[in-house]
Amino acid sequence: MKQTGVSLRYMMEFGSVPTDRNLLLSAQFLQKELPIRIARRALELESLPFGLSAKPAILKVRDWYLDSFRDIRYFPEVRNRDDELAFTQMIKMIKVRHNNVVPTMALGVQQLKNEQFSSRKLPPGFDEIHGFLDRFYMSRIGIRMLIGQHVALHEPEPEPGVIGLINTKLSPIQVAQIASEDARSICMREYGSAPDINIYGDQNLTFPYVTSHLHLMLFELVKNSLRAVQERYMNSDKDVPPVRIIVADGTEDVTIKVSDEGGGIRRSGLPRIFTYLYSTAKNLPDMEGPSEGVTMAGYGFGLPVSRLYARYFGGDLQIISMEGYGTDAYLHLSRLGDSEEPLP
């Protein structure tokens, strides 16, 4: 069965009046739509190349998808407000069940890599796994957006300007400040100190976006920059240069540049930074570890997944590096208010 895309504009208009009738319609739509999306992923998980489907971590993820498929399919048809509230509780639990999908999948891919591909070069045909992971994670972002939006519309007192997960007056500077503090605290924990972060741009700029998505992307980019600078200047007497975040307001995009002087990336390594196997971490967190946020450090999934979050709403992420100096990451965010394109 084909999946049905929903545009952001529709989500915003529909969610701006979360009446009981609208919530009921939304639940009825999800009861049909979610199993279609989940089934596609479960099937793909069973037919991956290089024996990836048989890895314990991948089997674990497949079981989560099968359990969620069953939970929704066996749930009685949603007909009234009580059904809708019970359905909402159930899909909320499904979202929690899938919290660790990214690190668990990463673990499976890492197991495969360690067993089969000890050399730096990836074998022919590995693109197939890369393409699968792109589709898989993009689909996951879509499923979590649909569930998250429906659940958030039940907030009894939403903040002004907030429709479900969408903040119609999101301040990129504010999100950058919070993401920077979070990334610095992790850097402090790992290294005992952290470079400063300077943020530039119009304090009053706001635009519609999903706060949690922007936080995730900026946190990842800032964390990478802090690590590069920290490791470059760790045993140096020189002043540690700050990481700079610049927010620019264009007619089509809001662009955020995260700029560091952490020594850059070799030109030969640049094509690899968006593949799912490019990780610089020494040891990987274990499978049962804490939830998604911080465990993504070091899996080599942070950048490709962040780029998918940007692309989900029609934006993009580009990395430009100057070896021997530093790296600039450009996060292009589409202005969402007018988009009638159906989302993945």
Whether residues 112 and 101 fall in one domain: yes
Q: How many CB atoms lie within 10 A of CB 43?
A: 11
- What residues does 253 pair with on adjacent strands? 334
**The pLDDT of residue 132:** 92
Domain final position from 95, 128, 163? 163
Whether residues 192 and 48 fall in one domain: no
**Does 213 map to a domain?**
yes
Whether residues 186 and 257 fall in one domain: yes
**The pLDDT of residue 172:** 98
**The pLDDT of residue 279:** 61
**Does 212 map to a domain?**
yes
Domain final position from 131, 163, 195? 163
CATH code of residue 93: 1.20.140.20
Which of 188, 109, 143, 126 lies closest to 35 in space, CA to CA?
143
Whether residues 186 and 66 fall in one domain: no
CATH code of residue 200: 3.30.565.10
Whether residues 176 and 304 fall in one domain: yes
**The pLDDT of residue 295:** 39
Whether residues 115 and 205 fall in one domain: no
**Does 339 map to a domain?**
no
Whether residues 190 and 134 fall in one domain: no
The whole domain housing 322 covers 166-334
Which of 151, 319, 142 lies closest to 221 in space, CA to CA?
319
**Does 139 map to a domain?**
yes
Whether residues 141 and 85 fall in one domain: yes
User: CB burial class (10 A; 0-12, 13-18, 19+) of residue 250?
Assistant: exposed
pLDDT digits (tens, 9 = 90+) for 270-298: 988 898 876 655 555 554 444 444 533 56
The residue ranges of the chain whose pLDDT is under 70 are: 117-123, 278-299, 336-339
Say if CB 151 and CB 92 are below 8 A apart.
Answer: yes
Whether residues 47 and 195 fall in one domain: no
**Does 42 map to a domain?**
yes
pLDDT digits (tens, 9 = 90+) for 182-211: 999 999 999 999 999 999 999 999 999 999
Whether residues 129 and 175 fall in one domain: no
**Does 341 map to a domain?**
no
Whether residues 101 and 228 fall in one domain: no
**The pLDDT of residue 275:** 85
Whether residues 305 and 322 fall in one domain: yes
**Does 3 map to a domain?**
no
**Does 2 map to a domain?**
no
Which of 291, 22, 290 lies closest to 150 in space, CA to CA?
22
Domain count, the chain: 2
Domain final position from 122, 143, 163? 163
